[in-house]
Amino acid sequence: MKLNPLVSSLSLYDIAGTPGVAADVSHVNTRSEVAGYQGEGELGKALEGADVVIIPAGVPRKPGMTRDDLFNINAGIVKSLCTAISKYCPKALVNMISNPVNSTVPIAAEVFKKAGTYDEKRLFGVTTLDVVRAKTFYAGKANVPVAGVNVPVVGGHAGITILPLFSQATPKANLDHDVIVALTKRTQDGGTEVVEAKAGKGSATLSMAYAGALFADACLKGLNGVPDVVECSFVQSNVTELPFFASKVRLGKNGVEEVLGLGALSDYEKQGLENLKPELLASIEKGIKFAKQ
């Protein structure tokens, strides 16, 4: 975010260690002013005046864990951060990265509803890393330059709830069905691939930072009135019968300007969509139930 020319003020918050990170980042010669805040007592100052809040807080997975296994620790962290957001910057766009995103976004929505600050146009689950992975893997198989590749990824952000729509990928490539199946599986397991490679030392941080910065940049462009900014994100949605769903979203001056539909799906994708619904709904309901307690 320090590299982003649209950022004027960058606040870094953590429970500890933030002054060092802030001092380090502040030496990068871009225009934004950097400030570090640590400990709950400084959370309000960190949030005040923010237009966009990016939440990557919480613990990462270890090999063998699902994102849902992080629920017990991360749900409480997200709940308290969102409570502070509703108090100190209720109009900010919230970019939720903390896992399990399929549950933490509904938790945030409930916290904001309770505080009377909920605006469904301002709450986003960041699924950009799924798109980043789908583009990378597709470019490799289709043998095309990755810079020109586009692949929508819909559904949620965990296992089979991640549904890349390779039938809509551009540039078009006539890939065999078994290649599409393998690409789909690799995209769904992309996070796990990193978790296993890191062998207990965490999950994706560098590609996640890249993806998180891309999505926040899209939000900032929308806020600045740049037209036709479209990214996939997990948002409150009418695209399916599920209350939250990731699909293409047009971003504007108030956050979500339009939640776009799914477009034409292949039979394989239609089946994937039906298969993901029960798991995604259960994760959404788990988040709502937790927040209501």
Stretch touching ligand LMR by CB under 6 A, among 111-119, 174-182, 200-208, 236-244:
200-208
27 is catalytic: no
Q: Which x/- pattern, by CB under 6 A, does the window 234-273 give for ligand LMR?
A: ----------------------------------------
* 97 vs 218 by CB, closer to ligand LMR: 97
DSSP secondary-structure letter at 5? T
Classify strands 93-96 and 162-164 as parallel, antiparallel or unpaired. Answer: unpaired
* Minimum separation from the CB atom of position 145 to ligand LMR (A): 24
* 132 vs 220 by CB, closer to ligand LMR: 132
Sequence-distant (≥ 6) Cβ neighbours of residue 102 within 8 angstroms:
67, 68, 125, 156, 157, 158, 161, 234, 244, 280, 283, 284, 287
Q: For residues 116 and 114, what is the distance between their CA atoms, to the nearest angstrom?
A: 5
Residue nearest to ligand LMR (CB): 191
**Which residues are known binding-site members for substrate?**
61, 67, 99, 133
* Minimum separation from the CB atom of position 253 to ligand LMR (A): 29
- Here the contacts of 257-266 (C-beta below 8 Å, separation 24 or greater) are 257/121, 257/222, 259/235, 260/230, 262/154, 262/165, 263/152, 263/165, 263/168, 264/167, 264/168, 265/165, 265/167, 266/167, 266/180
* Minimum separation from the CB atom of position 264 to ligand LMR (A): 27
End-to-end CA distance of the chain: 35
Structure token digits, residue 36: 């570090």
Q: Identify residues 56-95 at the interface with ligand LMR (CB under 6 A).
A: 60-61, 67
Q: For residues 93 and 72, what is the distance between their CA atoms, to the nearest angstrom?
A: 25
* Minimum separation from the CB atom of position 205 to ligand LMR (A): 9
* 69 vs 119 by CB, closer to ligand LMR: 69
Q: For residues 281 and 159, what is the distance between their CA atoms, to the nearest angstrom?
A: 14
Phi and psi (nearest 5°) for 72?
A: -55, -35
Q: Identify residues 108-137 at the interface with ligand LMR (CB under 6 A).
A: 129
* 43 vs 78 by CB, closer to ligand LMR: 78
| Amino acid, single-letter form, for residue 88 | Y
Give bridge partners of residue 35 from the DSSP assignment: 11
* 61 vs 248 by CB, closer to ligand LMR: 61
* 32 vs 99 by CB, closer to ligand LMR: 99
Instruction: Please state the separation of Cα 241 from the chain's center in Å.
Output: 21
* Minimum separation from the CB atom of position 179 to ligand LMR (A): 22
**Annotated catalytic residue within 79, 157, 186, 248:** 157
- DSSP structure string for 130-149: HHHHHHHHHHHHHTS-GGG-
Based on the shown chain and the rule CB under 6 A, indicate whether residue 156 belongs to the binding site for ligand LMR.
no
Contact call for residues 63 and 105 (beta carbons, < 8 A): no
Q: Identify residues 167-196 at the interface with ligand LMR (CB under 6 A).
A: 190-191, 194-195
The count of residues interacting with ligand LMR (CB under 6 A) is: 12
* Minimum separation from the CB atom of position 2 to ligand LMR (A): 22
* Site residues, ligand LMR (CB under 6 A): 60-61, 67, 99, 129, 190-191, 194-195, 203-204, 208
* Residue positions annotated with a catalytic role: 157
